Structure 1
Amino acid sequence: MATAQMVRDVMTAPPIEVSPQTYVADVARRMRDEDIGAVLVTEEGHPRGLVTDRDLTVRILAEGGDVSGVHVEDACSTDLTTVTPDDPVDRAVGLMREKAVRRLPVVDPERDRVVGIVSLGDLAVERDTDSALSEISAAEPNT
């Protein structure tokens, strides 16, 4: 099997997107229903943030209280590191290492629109098929 060379070869597309005003409970249900751990926060397709299941837990649920009126913009990371579909996979790997992130939004630079997301798990499945992370990432969920 040939190793993927470009981000477009390993990214998940289309990504799941929500607006900044989406309620966190709705985002959590969407993550559950789609069996994913991250959602891109966009406005008209333009990247504004990324929220993970961990963000919801640490930034919102851990604070306690009623979360029914809390929007995802209060939980998401807005300092995004992105890649393009035509970037080499090695660039994505390097950025993940440098920035200590597990997911990168994939953005079409000509339109400034989100077209995908690439995760550490995606790269493990592609690059290191015998690793524990690859096997976990490729396995059916136990939820």
Structure 2
Amino acid sequence: MADFVREVMTPGVVAVRPDASVVEAAQLMRAQDIGDVVVADGQQVVGMLTDRDITIRAVAEGLDPLTVSARSVCTPHPVMVSPQDPVSTAVALMREKAVRRLPVVENGLPVGMVSLGDLAVAQAPDSALADISRAEPDHDVQPAAPDIRGPV
């Protein structure tokens, strides 16, 4: 069983500038096959932007994703952990703050991410969440065609 965040985190960080459009961020998420990006101003983490943030805070509000910035819809001042923190600290922060992902920061610089799935794989390898987290994405799935018939 892993003791420290560095043992369970996914190394590397995908980041966008605060002034990047939501479309830019979403395209980056698609290209990297991830559900979140760090919003960074230079080397400083200023927020976390998830696919859910884009959906709830931009699209559902009717904002133009080409003009709305990542900073305006991200979660500002995200909770972060260090690679040297105990895994129990990451678990406690996720529970307390009700988040699924934490940026891992060392000497002020983002160096990785730790997700609920990472923790499940490390701490509960036989769990359904661990199985799902280990599975390869299914890129062959086509979205369902919208029902355009209207009311019957």
Report 1:48-67 matches (<5 A): 48-67=46-65
Aligned equivalent of 1:117, options 113, 117, 124: 113
Question: 3-state DSSP class of the match of 1:63?
Answer: coil
The structural deviation recorded for 1:67 is 2.1
User: Whose Rg is larger?
Assistant: 2
1:82 to 80, 83, 105: 80
Deviations 1:62-120 (A, max 9, x none): 11253211110111001311110100111111111111111111111xx3111111010
Provide structure 2 residue ranges, at least 5 long, that are not aligned to the other structure: 140-152
Q: Which amino acid aligns with 2:113?
A: I
Partner of 1:23: 21
Aligned pair 1:129/2:125, yes or no? yes
- Equivalents in 1 of 2:27, 2:120: separation in Å? 27
**Aligned-pair CA distance for 1:32:** 0.8
Question: TM-score, structure 1 length as denominator?
Answer: 0.93
Q: TM-score, normalised by structure 2?
A: 0.87
Gap change, CA 1:135 and 1:43, over 3 Å in 2: same
Q: Which amino acid aligns with 1:19?
A: R
The corresponding residue for 1:91 is 89
Superposed CA deviations along residues 19-51 of structure 1, whole A, max 9, x for unmatched, are 101111011011111110110011122110001
Distance 2:63 2:43 in 1: 32
Identity of aligned residues (%): 50
1: CA distance between counterparts of 2:65 and 2:113? Answer: 27
Could you tell me which amino acid in structure 2 is paired with residue 84 of structure 1?
S
1:65/1:84 Cα in 2 relative to 1: closer, same or farther (>3 Å)? closer
RMSD: 1.1
Counterpart of 2:148 in structure 1 is none
Mind listing any 5+ residue stretches in structure 1 that lack a counterpart? none
Aligned twin of 1:36:
34
Q: After TM superposition, which residue ranges in structure 1, 4 or more long, deviate above 2 angstroms? A: none
Q: How many residues align?
A: 139
